[in-house]
Structure 1
Amino acid sequence: MEWTYIQQAIPQFVDAFLMTLRLSLFGIIGAIVVGLIVTMVDYFKLPGRHFANGYRSIALNTPLLIQLFFIYYGLPPLGLKVPAELTAIIGLTFLGGAYMAKVFTGGILAIDKIQIESGQAIGLSKFQLAKYVLIPQGLLFCLPGVAANIIFLIKETSIFTVIAIPEITNTTLDLIGQNYRTDEYLTMMIVAYAAILVPLSVLLTLAERKIRHVAISV
């Protein structure tokens, strides 16, 4: 283990670390928004329900790798060139939205029906029912699933190496190819991912416990 190589590579890994965080953040936010929209469209049987179900089936049954290839390499011949970083965010949103929708649906189905019927009885619109009943209560039941999906999507950023984004995995492979120091750079890659995933996992667990405690108290 040559510490000189590790020291020299720190700036590149810091940039890769920040790139991974940025893409993950936008992708996860997009996935949550898409997941909620798809869930509400399906639950209330709104126009576009069949499209939403078709999207979910495609996203859940195709790998992120194929989705990225289609967006980044398949669309330019059709006249639509998407930058690499935007491709990564779209890919995470597309894949993650379907997984989030699956979790949100499970959370909503776990709500006591009397809560929903009470909201309908007092004349809440579909939007109000979603805002005040379905989403707040449904999230309580699906928090573990949402947390698991967030961790999963961050791990999936390692696939971005196929579209040459300098995230953690791609940076590691580039440095190994340049200097042939596998042990040093793989160790740095593990440390970089652990620095993201371990604290995030702890924070999500604590947040879940806190929210459940508050909900029970209320």
Structure 2
Amino acid sequence: MSGDLPSSGDASTDEQADNHTQATYTAPDNSHTQNVLPVQSTRTESASPSSETSNALAKITNRQAVDNSPQLSPCEIKQLDKLLASAPYPAAVSIDALKVIQQQRGWVSDTSLSLLSAYIQVSVAELDSVATFYNLIFRQAVGEVVLHPCDGISCDLMGGVEVRAAISQKLHINPGETTPDNRFTLIPLPCLGACDKAPVMIASKHVYPHLTLNKIAQLIDELDGDKK
């Protein structure tokens, strides 16, 4: 399978291992990258949003500002330096470097990809090919919680089709879409390698096994309550 399953830990945040200094780069032209997710829903908010909706919109705006930041943060640089110091050549850290960017920004935008390319000296094309190969590196904006129900044959035989339909009904979104409050994105994956636990789903770096229609609503409510 081509999916990149959640790891048990994040990139190291130890002291810088070499003398890289922070640099500012001009935001790149966004025309060269490849989309890997369906176009997200264009749902609109009401003309007079509630305070809860306003807070959600403010959170999205702040997040987008981070995504499009014209420079790497000190935290990102520290983690990238650590990776580079332990690698035989820069391209060897490509996937882990992309994870660092996504961990800090939520996804890997065109701007972020170009900043990373300039810093670790790996071409944008090479980084983009890595990013678009792995299912858990996002090249389009996603919600705070990404739901990955398995749509492999084993899960489907055990009720996976009904489970995915229940998720869509609960959240009022289709696969590839994000809820209006930017809380959930639904992206089914072909096989999660846990056929003995079918039907399964990955969310927030956890594998949820033996899903049933009765469990879905409670599980989503629990995930929604676990605010960042």
TM-score, normalization by structure 2: 0.22
The higher-RCO structure (CA 8 Å, 6+ apart) is 1
Larger Rg: 1
Higher helix share: 1
Higher share of residues assigned strand: 2
